[in-house]
Amino acid sequence: MCGIVAYVGPKEAAPLILEGLRRLEYRGYDSAGIAVRSDAGGGTLAVVRCEGKLARLEEAVRRAPPSGTRGVGHTRWATHGRPSERNAHPPQVGRVAVVHNGIIENHLEVRRRLEGQGRTFASETDTEIAAHLLDEALAAGASLVEAMRRAVRQIEGSYALAAVDARTGDRLVVAKNASPLILGIGDGEMFAASDIPAILPYTNRVIPLEEGELAELTRDGVRIEDAAGRPVSRAVRRIDWSPLQAEKGGFKHFMLKEIHEQPRAVEDTLRGRIVADRTGVFLEGAELDDETARSLHRVVLVACGTSFHAAMSGQRWLEGLAGVPAVAELASEFRGREPIVGEHDLVVAVSQSGETIDTLAAAKLARERGARILAVANVLDSAIPRAAHGSLYTHAGPEIGVASTKCFVAQLAALALLALRLGSARGRLDAGGLAELTAALLRIPGRMREAIARNSGVETLGRALASAPNWLYLGRGRSYPIALEGALKLKEISYIHAEGYAAGEMKHGPIALIDRNVPVVAVVPHDEQFEKMMGNVHEVHAREARVVAVTDREDPELRTLSEEVLTVGETLPAFSPFLTVLPLQLLAYHIADFKGTDVDQPRNLAKTVTVE
C-alpha cells in the first residue's frame, strides 16, 4: 500500500515524479504529495501535498511548478491518520522531507520521546517520526546517508523510505525493510520506486533492494549498503515489460484492457514450458527435479483474495491430474495458527505482487518448519520469490487495475503446468495423457479469445441487473473457485453484496435468501458435476431467482430455467475455469462501469496489501 517515487538526474524532477506516481496510483489514492529540491538560495525544498487523488496534486503542481532536478513523491493508502492534506506525505521537518510506504510499529514510543525533547508534530502519521529522526541527525551534523542509518536503527516495522535534503545537493537516500523498493538505473539519472511500472518509461534496468538495505542515489550511480553498513554489490536486472503495457491502449479502464489481455497472459505464461512434442513440462527456476517431485507427500497452496481462488483451482488440478494430496489455505489463517508442515511438503505461495504480507509470512513460516517453498508470482524478484526455494513466474505483464484479472488466469496457467509437471514426474500421467492435456492447455488462449468476443454483449445484461443489491454465485468442483472469484469481482468494483457459495451447501443456509430480486449466477459447464448443478439451478428457479447461467455450450433445459445463458465454448472439462471466469469478469466490469464507480481504483482497496 502507498507508492513512492524518487528521482535524481539532469531533468526537472516534478513531471517525472508525477508520471511515476500516476503509474503507482493503484497502490493508494487517499492523498498525494511531492517534495522537490531546488538549487536556489543554496538549496530549498518545495513541498506540495493534496488530499484525494493524484489529479489534485497534478493541478496544484501545474499552478505552481516546483523547480529542481531531484525529489520524492508519494501516493497514499491511509493507515495511521485519516486521509487529509495534513496527513499526506511527504512530511517535512527542518531541511528534510521523506516519503514512506509501510507501517512504523514503534511510532508512538518514538514520538513520545521526540515530543519530550520539545519536538512538535504536524500530522497523525507514523511516518512523521522518520522525518524528525532524520532532522535530528542532520542537525547533529550527520550526512544524509548517516542520518538515514541512524533513523532506521530506531524504527521497527515495515518501510520503504526516500528522503531529500535541502542542503544535500547531489543525492537522495532510500531505505527498505519489508516494503518493496526498486532502484531504476538510467543513463545519467537514477530512480527509486515501489513498483516497476513507475520507472519503465525511463529505464528497464533495475535493482530490487533487499531487506534492511539502504542506498544513496546520485546522477551517476547508486551505492548500496546492508543493515550493518557494509557495501553491497548487486547485479542489474533487465525487465522485459514495455511501457506501453502499462498504458490503457484505447480501453476505457485498465481492467477492461487487462480482461482482453488475458489470452496473451496465458500464452506468455505457457511459452517455453511445454516441450515441442508435448510430452514434457519444464519449469525452469521452480527447483523441482524428478526426485523432489516424487518425494512430496503433500502440496499446500497459500494465498489471499483472487490469488487464493487460483490456489483453489490449483488444488483441484494437483489432486486430479497429479494425484498428490493438496490443500489451499488462506495465507492469513495459515500463518495465524500452528500449521503442521514439514520437509515433505511443498508450499506454493501464490501472489500477483509477490509482496502480500500474509502470503509472505505464511511462506516464511512454512520454510522455517522445513517445507520447500515455491513462489508463483508476477513480479520478478519480489519478496515472496526471494523467500522461496524456487519460483514459477507468471508472465501477465504489469497489472494496474486493482481488481485482478489477467494475473488470475496466468496463475491458473502456472498452477496447471505445476500439476502436469508433478503428475508426469510421479507417474500419474503417461506420455499420452500428458500430451492430451498439454495440447488442450496450448489451445486455451485461442478459446479465451473466442469466449471474450462471444460475451462482449454482457453489458446489456449488466445494465438490466445492476440495481439488484444482493447476488449469489454458485459452483461445484472446479467451478466453485470461479463462483467465489465472480462474486469477489462484483463486490470489489461495483460495491454490490455478492456471495460465492459451493452449490452443494446451498440447501444448508443460503437458499433462505433466494427470491425474485436475487440474481443467481450459476457456473454450470458440462462436466461431471453438471447434473447436480442443474438440480441447484432448478431449486433456485423454483424460488423465482433470476438465473444467469455460465456454461460451455447451449443447453435447452438450462435456457428454459435462466434469464440469461452465457456460453464460453468447450475445452477439456479440467480447464473450464480458464473460460467460465471470463463472462463473470466482464459482467462485474460492466455493472461497475454502468454504476459509475471507480473501476480501476475501487474505494478502500489497494493493489498490494503490504500491511496486516
Binding residues for ligand M6R (CB under 6 A): 304-307, 351-353, 356, 359, 402-404, 492, 605, 608-609
Nearest approach in angstroms of CB 490 to ligand M6R is: 11
Secondary structure of residue 335 in the 3-state scheme = helix
For residues 512, 514, 518 and 523, what is the CA-based torsion angle, rounded to 10 degrees?
A: 100
Q: How far apart are the first and last CA of the chain?
A: 11
Q: Which is nearer to ligand M6R, 269 or 356 (CB)?
A: 356
Nearest approach in angstroms of CB 396 to ligand M6R is: 11
Q: Which is nearer to ligand M6R, 99 or 609 (CB)?
A: 609
For residues 74, 77, 81 and 87, what is the CA-based torsion angle, rounded to 10 degrees?
A: 20
Q: Which is nearer to ligand M6R, 155 or 584 (CB)?
A: 584
Nearest approach in angstroms of CB 99 to ligand M6R is: 22
- Is 2 part of the annotated catalytic residue set? yes
Q: Which is nearer to ligand M6R, 265 or 609 (CB)?
A: 609
State the DSSP H helix or E strand holding residue 360, giving kind and residue range, or none if neither. helix 357-368
Beta-sheet strand order (sheet of 3-8):
44-51, 31-38, 70-76, 3-8, 190-193, 182-185, 205-208, 237-238
Nearest approach in angstroms of CB 605 to ligand M6R is: 6
Q: Which is nearer to ligand M6R, 93 or 403 (CB)?
A: 403
Query: Judging by beta carbons within 10 Å of its beta carbon (0-12, 13-18, 19+), is residue 584 exposed, middle or buried?
Result: buried
Q: How is residue 546 written as a grid cell?
A: 433470476
Nearest approach in angstroms of CB 377 to ligand M6R is: 8
Q: Which is nearer to ligand M6R, 326 or 396 (CB)?
A: 396
CA distance linking residue 534 with residue 530, whole number of Å:
6
Q: Which residues of 538-557 are buried (b: 16+ CB within 10 A; e: fewer)?
A: ebbbeeebbbbbbbbeebee
Nearest approach in angstroms of CB 167 to ligand M6R is: 39
Q: Which is nearer to ligand M6R, 136 or 492 (CB)?
A: 492
- Is 607 part of the annotated catalytic residue set? yes
Q: How is residue 157 written as a grid cell?
A: 516495522
Nearest approach in angstroms of CB 423 to ligand M6R is: 25
CA distances from residue 563 to 89, 279, 458, 485 in whole angstroms, order as listed = 50, 43, 12, 21
Query: Judging by beta carbons within 10 Å of its beta carbon (0-12, 13-18, 19+), is residue 238 exposed, middle or buried?
Result: exposed
Q: Which residues of 291-323 are buried (b: 16+ CB within 10 A; e: fewer)?
A: ebbeebebbbbbbbbbbbbbbbbbbbbbebbbe
Q: Which is nearer to ligand M6R, 197 or 305 (CB)?
A: 305
Check 176, 489, 491, 607 and give the catalytic one: 607
Q: How is residue 271 written as a grid cell?
A: 511459452
User: What counts of helices (H) and strands (E) characterise the chain?
Assistant: 19, 25
Secondary structure of residue 237 in the 3-state scheme = strand
271: phi then psi, degrees, rounded to nearest 5:
-55, 130
Residues 6+ apart with CB under 8 A from 168: 43, 143, 144
The residue with its CB nearest to ligand M6R is 305
Nearest approach in angstroms of CB 349 to ligand M6R is: 9
CA distance linking residue 447 with residue 568, whole number of Å:
8
Q: Which is nearer to ligand M6R, 350 or 474 (CB)?
A: 350
For 436: left if phi > 0, alpha if psi spans -120 to 50, otherwise beta; the answer is: alpha
Nearest approach in angstroms of CB 580 to ligand M6R is: 17
CA distance linking residue 465 with residue 566, whole number of Å:
14
Q: Which residues does the annotation mark as catalytic? A: 2, 607
